[in-house]
Amino acid sequence: MLTVALPKGALLKDSIRLFQGAGLDFSAFLDDSNRQLQIPDPTGAAQALLVRAQDVPVYVEYGQAQLGIVGFDVLKEKKSKVAHLHDLGFGFCRMSVAVKASSPYRSATELPPNCRVASKYVHSARDYFESLDLPVEIIPLYGSVELGPITGMSEAIVDLVSTGRTLKENGLTELEVLYESTARLIAHPLSYRLNTDGLRDWIKPLQPAIAPSA
Amino acid sequence: MIHQPPVGARDLLPIDVAQKHWIERRLQDVFHRWSYHRIITPTLERMETLTAGGAVQPESVIQVWDAEEGFLGLRPELTASIARAAVNRMAGATYPQRLYYTANIFRRQAGEQARGQHEFYQAGVELLGAGGVSADAEVLLLLADSLSSIGLTHWHLVLGDAGLTRSLLWDFPKPLRRKVREAIARLDRIELETLPLEPSLRERALSLMDLRGTPDDVLHQVSQWALDDTQQAAVKHLKSVVELLEGHPSVTLDLSLIQTFDYYTGLVFEVVSDRESGQRVLGQGGRYDQLLSLYHPQGQMIPGIGFSLNLQDLQQVLLSVGQIPNQTLASDWLVVAESTQAIAVAFRYAQTLRIKGAESAVRVEVALEASSTDSARDYALHRNIPNIAWVNASGSVTIEAIESIL
């Protein structure tokens, strides 16, 4: 049976809508009273796993799910070995460097060498500062990264920004955009190659449902 | 303090070893029946030897410092060592050479898998000095015979041709060719859609990424493309190989199956277990017609093709289908000395049992503790030993059969 991994959080609604377009209904995950993490489609043709966004590529890489939907930010951070099939257009956001609005820095290159940068996206942050040839100390955090500069623990942060409101309300300003991110349809490479469970036929109807990102 | 093995290392306890040997013995029997000879190469090699072929990244090798030799690497695979040994140590040998190995390999895992396993076991073959259709077919048929010898009936063969796929990439402008190849190797359709390619080339790249299916379909599809003579010859070659595989239950011809490095020159393939066993890669291989020349003192080209099977993955798949022994062998005999004076006689009698039963690989153990008759019986019962030989100092032996509790 086809298994798809769906991310908890911001991408869930659009992901469920996408699969509805392909005739698979996982809307039970949107029901507030639902506590199940694994639900079948009412037709019995497929099932869905509800997992943290960071874990979607893990389930897909190990083949427990043949398809998954996850943000490009997570794929870039985890460097998972999965097939990248489609840019789904929704869930737009950007990975940015931000500092206190009151700080003197106006670009990332102005940051002092060996300064501290707090981030949930340790690899993205490290790769970016390496590409600038600027040595920094990355402080891994799991959330509320904005507190890094506010409390003085770090000079800057690298974090996901969608509207910029959180940054503004916490007195931070965006310096640079590392990359832009949208939701991606990913697949288990071996299942994709072998067309396990008729995977190719499942992917096809997922395409017309995709809204152009323009 | 508690002594632990290093992260990534693991102990194989007697039951693990019994299962591993069960597989290895069957594979070796098949390799012998196909006239392959075992070769043993060193666990440590010079780093230049390991990385010469371009498929091995230095950071994936566990390195060992030697004051005189400098950095040595624990082999991450066997083909480099065998290629080195074949061209330097077996100079003057006639070809083809049929070689096989069963050995441990070491891989340093990076990133998220850094704490994962780093020692693995492989069994494989290398067929050196033969480049034709028959050599390709022999290796694939030997692979199939090997898997059926261990009772694996359901598996998929994913087959590609690195030489053909690479030549199909020549159509792409040089600055982008590498990126197109990496995107195809990683199955990254999004990258292909966003690279600055002309529409016709983008179409070509996207269809190359999905150029897979039943051999007939794919061969038909690719022969519709504008192919030069070499490419046409490669397609014809592939067709002949596929025809020789007829009767194989599941072959997927996949022309997107390429690596990002130029190691394989022709046929490439992977063995994948079926859905029920979690669809893992059980083995892999391919043709490497340039590799041996890198080790040859005069750079002589000697074709080669081979495969390696991942023993641990095979073991797990076989466990899930219940093909493999799930306990270690019990002793056939327990020899008990009835008194301390009888110990010498007991050891002598045990030895006669061993010699008599050598053909049937009899297992004889001597009771080491002088203890009561009942405790010896309990021991035999508990360990599933079917026979006790009671030996007394005068040399007389009483044989007792133990009823199994099972």
The single-letter code of the amino acid at B313 is: D
Cβ neighbours of residue B100 closer than 8 Å, sequence gap 6 or more: B28, B31, B36, B37, B38, B39, B123, B124, B125, B126
- Cα B288 vs. chain centroid, distance in angstroms? 17
Are A199 and A65 contacting, i.e. CB atoms less than 8 angstroms apart?
no
Quote the pLDDT of residue B277.
76
Residues of B in contact with A193 (CB under 8 A): 158, 187, 212, 252, 254, 256-257
Cα radius of gyration rounded to whole Å, chain A: 19
Quote the pLDDT of residue B114.
66
Region for residue B333 given its phi and psi (left: phi exceeds 0; alpha: psi -120 to 50; beta: otherwise): beta
A188 close contact with B: CB closer than 8 A: yes
Q: At what angle do helices B174-185 and B199-209 cross, to 10 degrees?
A: 30
Are A203 and A84 contacting, i.e. CB atoms less than 8 angstroms apart?
no
Quote the pLDDT of residue B156.
94
Are residues A87 and A97 both part of a single domain? no
Are residues A84 and A97 both part of a single domain? no
**Does B273 map to a domain?**
yes
- Output DSSP code: residue A184: E
Q: Which of B147, B148, B125, B152 is nearest to B138 (CA)?
A: B125
Across the interface, whether the CB atoms of B158 and A188 are under 8 A apart is answered no
What's A187's domain CATH number?
Answer: 3.40.190.10
Quote the pLDDT of residue B276.
79
Q: Which two tokens stand for residue B299?
A: 């750079």
Are residues B137 and B281 both part of a single domain? yes
Are residues A38 and A108 both part of a single domain? no
Are residues B257 and B368 both part of a single domain? no
Are residues A76 and A99 both part of a single domain? no
- Output DSSP code: residue B395: S
Which of A61, A82, A84 to mutate to test binding with chain B, by most B CBs within 10 Å of its CB?
Answer: A84
Are residues A56 and A84 both part of a single domain? yes
Are A184 and A91 contacting, i.e. CB atoms less than 8 angstroms apart?
no
Are residues A112 and A60 both part of a single domain? no
Give the residue carrying structure tokens 């693990």: B16
**Does B4 map to a domain?**
no
Are B222 and B255 contacting, i.e. CB atoms less than 8 angstroms apart?
yes
**Does A38 map to a domain?**
yes
Are residues B131 and B250 both part of a single domain? yes
Nearest chain A Cα distance for residue B175, angstroms: 21
Residues of B in contact with A189 (CB under 8 A): 187
Are residues B145 and B91 both part of a single domain? yes
Quote the pLDDT of residue A106.
93
The single-letter code of the amino acid at B94 is: T
Across the interface, whether the CB atoms of B189 and A194 are under 8 A apart is answered no
Domain containing residue A81: 2-91+182-209
Are residues B257 and B390 both part of a single domain? no
Domain containing residue B368: 333-401
Across the interface, whether the CB atoms of B190 and A85 are under 8 A apart is answered yes
Q: Which two tokens stand for residue B395?
A: 């040399």
Among B269, B297, B320, residue at a domain's last position: B320
Are residues B160 and B282 both part of a single domain? yes
Q: Which two tokens stand for residue A141?
A: 């955090």
Are residues A85 and A187 both part of a single domain? yes
Are A91 and A15 contacting, i.e. CB atoms less than 8 angstroms apart?
no
**Does B173 map to a domain?**
no
B188, B189, B252: residue with CB nearest A194: B252
Residues of A in contact with B279 (CB under 8 A): 63, 188, 190-191, 194, 196
Are residues A107 and A174 both part of a single domain? yes
Are residues B361 and B277 both part of a single domain? no
Cα radius of gyration rounded to whole Å, chain B: 27
**Does B81 map to a domain?**
yes
Are residues A109 and A59 both part of a single domain? no
A189 close contact with B: CB closer than 8 A: yes
Are residues A75 and A42 both part of a single domain? yes
Are B146 and B309 contacting, i.e. CB atoms less than 8 angstroms apart?
yes
Cβ neighbours of residue B68 closer than 8 Å, sequence gap 6 or more: none
**Does A21 map to a domain?**
yes
> Counting Cβ atoms within 10 Å, is residue A115 exposed (0-12), middle (13-18) or buried (19+)?
middle
A150 close contact with B: CB closer than 8 A: no
**Does B326 map to a domain?**
no
Are residues B294 and B381 both part of a single domain? no
Residues of B in contact with A190 (CB under 8 A): 272, 279-281
Those of residues 92-111 in B touching chain A at CB distance below 8 A are: 111
The total number of structural domains in chain A stands at: 2
- Total residue length of chain A: 214
Q: Which two tokens stand for residue B42?
A: 């060193």
Are residues B98 and B232 both part of a single domain? yes
Among B320, B352, B381, residue at a domain's last position: B320
Quote the pLDDT of residue B357.
93
Q: Compute mean pLDDT per 10 residues along chain A, 214 residues long, and list them.
A: 94 94 92 89 93 96 94 94 94 96 94 96 95 95 94 96 93 95 95 92 73 44
CA distance A70 to A92: 12
What's B285's domain CATH number?
Answer: 3.30.930.10
**Does A214 map to a domain?**
no
Q: Which two tokens stand for residue A142?
A: 């799991």
Which stretches of chain B score pLDDT less than 50?
A: none
- Sheet of A46-51: strand order equals A38-40, A46-51, A2-7, A67-71, A183-187, A83-87
Beta-strand relationship, A137-140 and A93-100: unpaired
Chain A: residue whose CA lies nearest to B275: A196
Are residues B158 and B285 both part of a single domain? yes
B156, B188, B257: residue with CB nearest A84: B188
The total number of structural domains in chain B stands at: 2
The single-letter code of the amino acid at A195 is: N
Are residues B280 and B131 both part of a single domain? yes
The single-letter code of the amino acid at A26 is: F
Are residues A55 and A104 both part of a single domain? no
**Does B198 map to a domain?**
no
Nearest chain B Cα distance for residue A40, angstroms: 19
Are residues B314 and B337 both part of a single domain? no
**Does B66 map to a domain?**
yes
A40 close contact with B: CB closer than 8 A: no
Those of residues 43-82 in A touching chain B at CB distance below 8 A are: 63, 78-79, 81
Residues of B in contact with A83 (CB under 8 A): 186-189
**Does B183 map to a domain?**
no
Are B50 and B61 contacting, i.e. CB atoms less than 8 angstroms apart?
yes
Are residues A37 and A7 both part of a single domain? yes
